[in-house]
């Protein structure tokens, strides 16, 4: 509408518009503005007309002349904006305060304002000059269109001939290009197939190589376990026999060598496994490339055999705009060449790895056998030393046992000698006691008294000396007993150590033939 106030819409959130909010609408004689009778007024009279100032129409409408001045009626604004849909009664929202605006119609307006409808109808007529000019324009347009049609027919014939020749030439050139492409595909397919056969032939032995390396690793576990068990058994030696001898040194060196050999074989096994994966990856690339080239060769061969009368040809609109290409002619050939070069490099690595694996396995087997033999020789030498030491201990033990027997007889003689002195001592002391009962001057210190006193003293001195000798003999006897105990313990330790080395350790080592390790 050209003369309305500021477009005031409903408030945010759908809240009702205050009664003071208004909207300006154009008032015509045939306008049906006003609230329906069924709608209750908000305030004041049911239809509060408010006549404002008159405004002049700024531009002429195409469907009617300028009306000079028109009246503007102020009405209440509805709660929702008036749209084209809301101009009908069935689309009126609930709470609408006014009807929708009905624009002027020349047919319905005649009944309401005949003068206005007649004046508007005058502007729908044409003049004679306009009718004549219209006819001349149509004649000129007809001549021009016929000439244009003749020129277009001639151009179309020439264009048809040119397009036929161009289509035939393009189809022939496309067929030649497809033939060249088939030749390239056949060449690279043959190259890839040949390289794939070589790679598969090289990879046929990698499983055997991996099996040999794994067997070597498993074979090292038993010698390593035996060497560690020998160390554990030798830890059960007692006393001074638990010595860091040549056997223990040889066992430690052997265990260290076995662990290093296991690490070498483990690294070799990992290299073989990695190389097997790399070769399998190269094989997959070759197989994938061959498969793609076989598919492309079939497609291009089919395309090369197609002609205008082939079955199955049809339209694919817009297919020329779709470019699914992911490579160029150069990158395509370079990709296949890279696959061949990678396969050749993997085959060279596999051949070098095979020779390295053989040398590593043979070297490990030789070193294991050398250290195994050195440890066995150390066991033999140590067993001989312990056997000689055991024999010497047994000899000394026999001598100590004999000396103990002699010492026990000597102790018995000393005790008997002490007991034999009791009779003379009793006699001498009894004499002295009896002589002490003499009376008077008879208690004389005569030569007999002196001799009896001297005899008692001599006997007591002899008994004291014999007791001293008896104590010394008993101490010597205890020393001999301790020596015998020490020798017996030492002999038992030596027998135990000899049993461990000869029976436990050597039986374990003899039960496993290490010589089989060099037969890879």
| Each residue's pLDDT tens digit, 378-404 | 989 989 999 999 999 999 999 999 999
Asked, for residue 47, whether it belongs to a domain, the answer is: no
Q: Does 23 score more than 70 pLDDT?
A: no
What average pLDDT does this structure show over 207-212? 83
* 217 shares its domain with 298: yes
**Residue 155 shares a structural domain with residue 192:** no
* Section 25-51 average pLDDT: 42
137 has pLDDT over 70: yes
- Answer yes or no: do 472 and 398 share one domain: yes
Position 517 scores a pLDDT of 53
Q: What angle do CA 133, 138, 140 make, to 5 degrees?
A: 95
Q: 168, 196, 213 — which closes off a domain?
A: 168
432 assigned to some structural domain: yes
Q: pLDDT at position 411, please?
A: 92
Q: 426 and 365 in one domain?
A: yes
Closest-CA residue to 23 (of 79, 87, 69, 70): 79
Which positions ≥6 away from 127 have C-beta within 8 Å?
Answer: none
* 8 A C-beta contact, residue 61 and residue 26: no
Confidence of residue 463 (pLDDT cuts 50, 70, 90): very high
> Which CATH number is 191's domain given?
1.20.250
Does residue 197 share a domain with residue 136?
no
For residue 398, tell me if it sits in a domain.
Answer: yes
Q: CB-based burial of residue 204 (10 Å sphere; 0-12 exposed, 13-18 middle, 19+ buried)?
A: exposed
Relative orientation angle of helices 206-234 and 246-305, to the nearest 10 degrees: 160
With cut-offs at 50, 70 and 90, classify the pLDDT of residue 241: confident
Residue 13 scores a pLDDT above 60: no
Per the rule left: phi > 0, alpha: psi between -120 and 50, beta: everything else, 221 is alpha
Q: Which of 139, 168, 197 is the last residue of a domain?
A: 168
Reported for 483-490, long-range contacts at CB under 8 A and 24+ positions apart, including other chains, are 483/400, 484/397, 484/400, 484/401, 484/404, 487/393, 487/396, 487/397, 487/400, 488/397, 489/238, 489/239, 490/239, 490/240, 490/393
| Residue 70 in domain | no
Both 144 and 237 in one domain: the answer is: no
Whole-model pTM: value is 0.54
Q: Is 247 exposed, middle or buried (0-12, 13-18, 19+ CB in 10 A)?
A: buried
pLDDT band with cut points at 50, 70 and 90 for residue 211: confident
Residue 277 in any domain: the answer is: yes
- Reported as a pLDDT band with limits 50, 70 and 90, residue 368 is confident
Place 319 in a pLDDT band, splitting at 50, 70 and 90: confident
In this structure, the answer to whether residues 337 and 191 fall within a common structural domain is: yes
472: helix, coil or strand? Answer: helix
Asked, for residue 33, whether it belongs to a domain, the answer is no
- pLDDT of 412 over the 90 cut: yes
The pLDDT, as a whole number, for residue 144 is 93
Query: 500 with 242: CB under 8 angstroms?
Result: no
Does residue 47 carry a pLDDT above 90? no
pLDDT of 413 reads: 93
pLDDT above 80: residue 125 = no
Task: Provide the pLDDT confidence category of residue 467 given band limits of 50, 70 and 90.
Answer: very high
Residues 384 and 495 in one domain: yes
- Report yes or no on 405 lying in a domain: yes
Spatial neighbors of 72 by CB under 8 A, at least 6 apart, are 3, 24, 25, 26, 27, 51, 52, 53, 54, 55
Q: Are residues 163 and 193 in the same domain?
A: no
Same domain, residue pair 120 and 215: no
pLDDT of residue 35: 42
Q: What tokens does 390 get? A: 């055991």
Instruction: Report pLDDT for 92.
Output: 52
Alpha helices (H) in 306-321, listed in sequence order:
none
Q: 55 forms bridges with which residues in the sheet?
A: 70
**Same domain as 140, residue 288:** no
pLDDT the model gives residue 513: 64
pLDDT, position 204: 80
The verdict on residue 488 lying in a domain is yes
- Residues 208, 274 within the same domain: yes
Task: Read off the pLDDT band of 177 (50, 70, 90).
Answer: very high
Look up the domain containing 464 and give its range: 186-308+328-436+446-518
Distance (Å, whole) CA 124 – CA 132: 17
Q: What is the pLDDT of residue 219?
A: 84
| Count of domains for the chain | 2
- pLDDT (tens digit per residue) in 282-315: 999 999 999 999 999 999 999 999 888 888 888 8
3-state secondary structure (DSSP) of residue 512? coil
């Amino acid at each position: 509408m050209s003369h309305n106030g500021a477009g005031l819409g409903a408030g945010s959130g759908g809240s009702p518009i205050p009664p003071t909010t208004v909207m300006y609408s154009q008032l015509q004689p045939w306008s049906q503005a006003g609230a329906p009778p069924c709608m209750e007024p908000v305030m004041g009279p049911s239809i509060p007309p408010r006549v404002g100032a008159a405004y002049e129409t700024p531009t002429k409408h195409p469907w009617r002349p300028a009306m000079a001045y028109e009246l503007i009626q102020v009405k209440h604004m509805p709660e929702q904006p008036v749209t084209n849909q809301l101009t009908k009664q069935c689309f009126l929202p609930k709470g609408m305060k006014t009807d929708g605006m009905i624009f002027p119609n020349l047919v319905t307006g005649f009944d309401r304002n005949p003068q206005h409808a007649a004046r508007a109808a005058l502007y729908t007529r044409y003049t004679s000059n306009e009718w004549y000019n219209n006819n001349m324009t149509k004649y000129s347009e007809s001549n021009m269109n016929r000439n244009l049609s003749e020129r277009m027919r001639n151009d179309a014939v020439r264009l048809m001939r040119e397009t036929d020749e161009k289509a035939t030439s393009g189809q022939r050139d496309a067929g030649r290009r497809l033939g060249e492409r088939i030749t390239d595909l056949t060449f690279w397919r043959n190259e890839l197939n040949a390289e794939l056969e070589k790679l598969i032939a090289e990879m046929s032995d990698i499983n055997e190589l991996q099996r040999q390396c794994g067997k070597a690793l498993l074979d090292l576990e038993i010698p390593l376990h035996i060497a560690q068990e020998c160390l554990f058994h030798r830890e059960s030696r007692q006393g001074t026999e638990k010595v860091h001898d040549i056997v223990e040194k040889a066992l430690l060196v052997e265990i260290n060598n076995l662990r290093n050999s296991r690490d070498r074989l483990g690294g070799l096994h990992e290299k073989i496994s990695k190389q097997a994966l790399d070769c399998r990856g190269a094989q997959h690339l070759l197989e994938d490339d061959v498969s793609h080239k076989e598919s492309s060769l079939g497609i291009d061969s089919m395309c090369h055999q197609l002609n205008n009368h082939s079955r199955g040809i049809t339209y694919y609109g817009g297919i020329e705009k779709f470019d699914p290409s992911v490579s160029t002619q150069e990158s395509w050939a370079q990709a296949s060449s890279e696959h061949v070069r990678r396969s050749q490099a993997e085959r060279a690595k596999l051949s070098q790895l095979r020779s390295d694996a053989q040398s590593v396995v043979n070297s490990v087997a030789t070193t294991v056998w050398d250290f195994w033999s050195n440890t066995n020789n150390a066991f033999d030498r140590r067993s001989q030393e312990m056997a000689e030491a055991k024999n010497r201990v047994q000899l000394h033990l026999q001598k100590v046992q004999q000396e103990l027997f002699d010492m026990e007889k000597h102790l018995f003689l000393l005790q008997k000698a002490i007991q034999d002195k009791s009779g003379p001592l009793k006699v001498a002391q009894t004499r002295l006691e009896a002589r002490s009962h003499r009376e008077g001057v008879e208690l004389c210190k005569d030569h007999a008294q002196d001799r009896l006193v001297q005899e008692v003293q001599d006997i007591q001195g002899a008994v004291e000396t014999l007791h001293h000798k008896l104590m010394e003999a008993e101490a010597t006897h205890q020393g001999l007993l301790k020596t015998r105990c020490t020798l017996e313990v030492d002999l038992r330790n030596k027998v135990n150590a000899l049993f461990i080395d000869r029976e436990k350790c050597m039986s374990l080592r003899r039960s496993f033939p290490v010589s089989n390790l060099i037969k890879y």
